[in-house]
Amino acid sequence: MKNHILRPLWVAILLVSAILIARGLYVPDDFGVNGRNFTYGFHRKGNIEDWKAFPVKYRGRDYCKECHEDNYSSVSDSAHAVIQCENCHGPALGHPDNPEALEIDRSRGLCLRCHADLPYPGSQRGDLPAINPDEHNPDTPCADCHNPHNPEQEG
- Residue 96: the pLDDT is 72
* Beta carbons of 141 and 108 less than 8 angstroms apart: yes
- Residue 35: the pLDDT is 47
Which candidate, 19, 45, 48, places its Cα nearest to that of 34?
A: 45
- Residue 83: the pLDDT is 87
CA dihedral angle for residue 11, residue 13, residue 16, residue 18, rounded to 10 degrees: -70
Which candidate, 152, 145, 130, places its Cα nearest to that of 80?
A: 152
- Residue 64: the pLDDT is 87
Bridge partners of 50, per DSSP, are none
- Residue 36: the pLDDT is 58
Question: In tens digits, what is the pLDDT along the chain, a chain of 155 residues?
Answer: 677 888 999 999 999 999 999 998 988 777 765 545 555 566 777 788 888 888 888 888 888 888 888 888 888 888 888 888 888 888 888 777 766 666 677 888 888 888 888 777 777 777 788 888 899 998 888 888 888 888 776 65
Contacts of 101 (CB under 8 A, 6+ apart): 94, 95
- Residue 152: the pLDDT is 74
Distance CA 86, CA 72 (A): 12
User: Could you write out the DSSP letters of every residue in 108-120?
Assistant: HHHHHHHHB----
Task: List alpha helices for 27-136, DSSP H.
Answer: 47-53, 61-65, 69-76, 85-89, 108-115
Distance CA 72, CA 103 (A): 18
Which candidate, 128, 109, 108, places its Cα nearest to that of 117?
A: 128
Kindly list the domain boundaries of the chain, sorted by start residue.
Answer: 3-53, 61-144
pTM of the predicted protein model: 0.58
